[in-house]
Amino acid sequence: MAGPLSHVRVLDLSRIMAGPWCGQVLADLGADVIKVERPGVGDDTRAWGPPFLRDRSGEPTREAGYYLSVNRGKRSITLDLDKAEGQAVVRALAARSDIVLENFKAGTLKRFGLDYQSFKAVNPRIIYCSITGFGQTGPKRDAAAYDFMIQAMGGLMSVTGERDGMPGAGPQKVGVPIVDLMTGMYAAVGVLAALARRERTSDGDYIDLAMLDVQAAFLANQAMNWLASGNTPKRGGNRHPNIQPQDVFPCADGFVALAVGNDGQFDKLANILGRDEWSADERFATNPARVRNHSQLDPLLREEFAKRPRADLVAALEHAGVPCSPINTVPEVFAEPQIVHRQMLRDLPHPTAGTVPQVVSPLNFTNAPLAFDRAPPLLGQHTEELLRELGLGSAGERE
């Protein structure tokens, strides 16, 4: 496989979203990612549908869209981890791997002899990343966790959603499993950092990554707003808490997301709206003033936007260099000329469906370009292949 990690092998014992997302990032970068799954069932997300991919005859396959979104580029082997034989194969794979990903409950894999210390005994250079809801230590270490509850517990939902007193007010989750995705990204950063360190020291490492910690970490400016001021951040709808005007505004025939980032852009916005006097108004001339006087500026903007067709206003703002956008649906995203030009959506060969659409990695390397030629695998698709590579014969011979 191509890519900057074509020399790296990853043993992926994870399932659902966070761990598999990390594994897919590494696979896109060229790593050989081996996905270990339960015989007959596989990753839970294979059944998280509809929708399901359809085969060449139009019948649903066993691959749900959820599964297909996080498992590109991997090889699948089915092993029963409750049995000594399955555990032995996993240890043999670990002996040949650089990185291990797992998201079992704390302590589970130790019972099977598949924990970091067991793998380190056969491969001292192994980099082992454990992903859990709450980490390997602390009062909640044994509790199960899902993205939705971590968005709630970690404060994200307290700052997401329409503000009180407005129609539709109330806490909202983000429309994609953002904590899972961010945890997967942190996992990828962590294992690659450990890999870089290993080049200098020859030592592997163990990484303890918790979803709740990740959510706390990416509260970012909202956390610092509270730490700096003592004021608890609140839901503000689409309004930015620190930069104005940034919000969604209704035009005569649709909605526009406006993201003014500095005073110069505000001057251009005022000019396009025919309200040059706003730039000299002390209430609006600077960003801190606009944030303080948001309640006065907002209705003036809404009055002007409501007069204008969306396409005309977006075109004028874009021409002037004022950041704005129509609010695209998912189909509109992949019809967007910029996305089409960047080839973010591609069709990969698939053994039962013929092809499967994939939203590919946004990373573009000049000297080690990425290749997308391995679809999310069928359950156990590479079991025989991997057993032969390990010198263990075929699955049939081992039964």
Q: What is the pLDDT of residues 148-157, one digit of tens each?
A: 999 999 999 9
Q: What is the pLDDT of residues 63-121, one digit of tens each?
A: 999 999 999 999 999 999 999 999 999 999 999 999 999 999 999 999 999 999 999 99
What pLDDT score does 396 carry? Answer: 53
Please confirm, yes or no, whether 180 is among the known catalytic residues: yes
Q: Residue 37, exposed/middle/buried by CB under 10 A (0-12, 13-18, 19+)? A: buried
Q: Where are the domains of the chain?
A: 9-217+343-398, 246-335
Q: What is the pLDDT of residues 293-337, one digit of tens each?
A: 999 999 999 999 999 999 999 999 999 999 999 999 999 999 999
**Number of helices (H) and strands (E), helices first, in the chain?**
18, 13
pLDDT at 395 over 70: no
Say how many residues make up the chain: 399
Scanning 96-237, the segments in alpha helix (DSSP H) are 108-111, 116-122, 147-153, 178-201, 211-217, 220-229
Q: How far apart are CA 267 and CA 285, in angstroms?
A: 8
Both tokens of 293, joined, read 């006087």
9-217+343-398 and 246-335 share one CATH topology? no
Q: What percent of the chain has pLDDT over 70?
A: 98
Q: Residue 209 in contact with residue 187, Cβ under 8 Å? A: yes
CA atoms within 13 A on the CB side of 33: 31
CATH for the 246-335 domain, from 3.30.1540.10, 3.30.1330.10, 3.30.420.40, 3.30.460.80: 3.30.1540.10
Q: Residue 182 in contact with residue 104, Cβ under 8 Å? A: no
Give this prediction's pTM.
0.92
Per the listing, tokens 């930069």 go with 243
Both tokens of 308, joined, read 């204008």
Closest C-alpha among 80, 73, 77, 69 to residue 45: 69
Q: What is the pLDDT of residues 201-237, one digit of tens each?
A: 999 999 999 999 999 999 999 999 999 999 999 998 9
Both tokens of 338, joined, read 């910029």
Q: Nearest 5°: phi and psi at 293?
A: -110, 30
What pLDDT score does 50 carry? Answer: 96
Question: Quick one: average pLDDT of 277-304?
Answer: 97
Scanning the chain, the segments in alpha helix (DSSP H) are 18-28, 65-68, 84-95, 108-111, 116-122, 147-153, 178-201, 211-217, 220-229, 263-272, 277-280, 287-292, 294-305, 310-320, 330-335, 337-341, 383-389, 395-398
| Active-site annotation holder among 180, 213, 247, 267 | 180
DSSP, res 46: G
Q: Residue 62 in contact with residue 353, Cβ under 8 Å? A: no
Q: How far apart are CA 216 and CA 164, in angstroms?
A: 23
The third-level CATH classification (topology) of the domain covering 9-217+343-398 is Rossmann fold (3.40.50)
> What is the DSSP secondary-structure string of 169-204?
BS----SS-HHHHHHHHHHHHHHHHHHHHHHHH---
Contacts with 201 (C-beta within 8 Å, 6 or more apart), sequence order: none
